[in-house]
Amino acid sequence: MRFRPYGNTGIQTSEIGMGGMRFENPDQIEEMAQVVLHAFDKGVNYFDTAPFYCKDKSENIFGVAISEMKKSGKPFYISTKTGVSRGEEVRPQFERSLERLGVDAVDFYHVWCLVRPEQLPERKLNGVLDEFRKLKEEGLVRHICVSTHLGDDQVATMLDQAEGLFEGMLIGLNAINFNFRLKGVRAAAQRGMGVATMNTLGGGMLADHAQHYRYLMREGDESILEPALRFNLSVPEVSVALVGFRNKRDVDTAFEAYEKVELLSDAEMRDFKTGVVESSEDFCTQCNYCRDCPVEIPIVRFMEAYNGNLLDDSQPQSVLNKLRYHWGIPEVEAALAACTECRQCENVCTQHLPILKRFETLRQMERESKAQKAKHT
């Protein structure tokens, strides 16, 4: 295992970190703790969990593993989060995490799930950041971090609003969304922050549709994991790339791929990015050239979710869930209500996507989903 500095914290994190939201059998706490221990044995020292992951069992699973890991004397770092929006809600949730993890302090505690630009200012106003500061002053939190799904220039703005509070950032980055995310990764690194990347496999999309994404692979690659890890680890600003392990076999598979990874040179990286865009055809590449919508519709979010429909049009609910849970858009119709159909977005779209037609398909999906739900109630 190779290690990289996590920003200016003085900590060296393992290049591969463990994401704790994919345990295959979360009710089997002892068995799943063995998955964590297997990753630890392989050299992983960054472990990411959160309340509510895996039927709310993830922190308990890590707690069992941590009690064993402590005996080894080897360093490890625990990351968890809270997405509460009011200051007074921070400490109760933090204390619950502390208890479940069985630790005296959390290494990386994240302001969680910043999906919309207005959320950090709201939480700041509501005292959330002040509570984080207090936890750090009391020695209960070692490093205050942020976890976000913002993209492009929004990340730098959000970091500036936090006035230097954050020492690290967790952000989704992968071989197909880099257009939307790299600016944010760089903004964090420029501020001396560590960067952990989640969604290395596109939230499962790359693995589930490996055949479609085979254009990411190069000669000698045996699985889609190889180009996925190669891409994230070739971004020099990345401290640690998280991989979600369901079981011990996943750990072994990831390490087989990791051991073969050779980083891309600058020229190879440029060629890789060009190749991705050229191979994307009907897909939104998240370039965000459509960002200047006069009524501020987050078009990239809709079109990225719609990519899922291109890969598999038999799962409309998963597209709607992506919008709701990943992008913070619970109602398609309401979020698109202000669209004037000016077509400015279509005129600038680098992929020449029929954006308005796709909006209509998404609306239709929502109507059908609601009709289905009404039928079953």
Diameter over CA atoms, the chain:
63
Residue number with CB closer to ligand SF4 (190 or 364):
364
Can residue 288 be called a binding residue for ligand SF4 (CB under 6 A)?
yes
Return the range that interacts with ligand SF4 (CB under 6 A); candidates 129-137, 170-178, 191-199, 295-303.
Answer: 295-303
Structure tokens at 192: 């001396």
Q: Is 186 exposed, middle or buried, given 0-12, 13-18 or 19+ CB atoms closer than 10 A?
A: middle
Could you give the CA distance from residue 335 to residue 191 in angstroms, rounded to a whole number? 33
Can residue 323 be called a binding residue for ligand SF4 (CB under 6 A)?
no
Q: CB–CB of 286/179 below 8 Å?
A: yes
Can residue 126 be called a binding residue for ligand SF4 (CB under 6 A)?
no
* CA nearest neighbour of 146 among 179, 183, 120, 175: 120
Quick one: which of 115, 248, 279, 289 contacts ligand SF4 (CB under 6 A)?
Answer: 289
Instruction: Provide the sign of the torsion angle of the four alpha carbons 300, 301, 306, 307, taken in this order.
Output: positive
From residue 298 to residue 317, the character string flagging contacts with ligand SF4 as x (rule: CB under 6 A) and all else as - is -xx--x--------------
Could you give the CA distance from residue 129 to residue 118 in angstroms, rounded to a whole number? 14
Residue number with CB closer to ligand SF4 (111 or 329):
329
* CA nearest neighbour of 158 among 196, 199, 129: 129
CB of 287 to ligand SF4, least distance (A): 4
Quick one: which of 70, 74, 96, 343 contacts ligand SF4 (CB under 6 A)?
Answer: 343
Can residue 344 be called a binding residue for ligand SF4 (CB under 6 A)?
yes
Can residue 350 be called a binding residue for ligand SF4 (CB under 6 A)?
yes
Q: Where are the beta strands (DSSP E) in 34-99?
A: 46-48, 77-82
Touching ligand SF4, residues 258-287 (CB under 6 A)? 284-287
Can residue 177 be called a binding residue for ligand SF4 (CB under 6 A)?
no
Can residue 342 be called a binding residue for ligand SF4 (CB under 6 A)?
yes
Can residue 3 be called a binding residue for ligand SF4 (CB under 6 A)?
no
Residue number with CB closer to ligand SF4 (3 or 289):
289
CB of 360 to ligand SF4, least distance (A): 12
Give the amino acid at 150.
L
Cα pseudo-dihedral 126, 129, 130, 133, rounded to 10? 170
Count the residues of the shown chain that bind ligand SF4, applying the rule CB under 6 A: 27
* CA nearest neighbour of 39 among 19, 57, 55: 19
Which contiguous run of DSSP H or E holds residue 137?
Answer: helix 128-137
Can residue 251 be called a binding residue for ligand SF4 (CB under 6 A)?
no
CB of 362 to ligand SF4, least distance (A): 12
Binding interface with ligand SF4 (CB under 6 A): 284-290, 293-295, 297, 299-300, 303, 339-345, 349-351, 353, 355-356
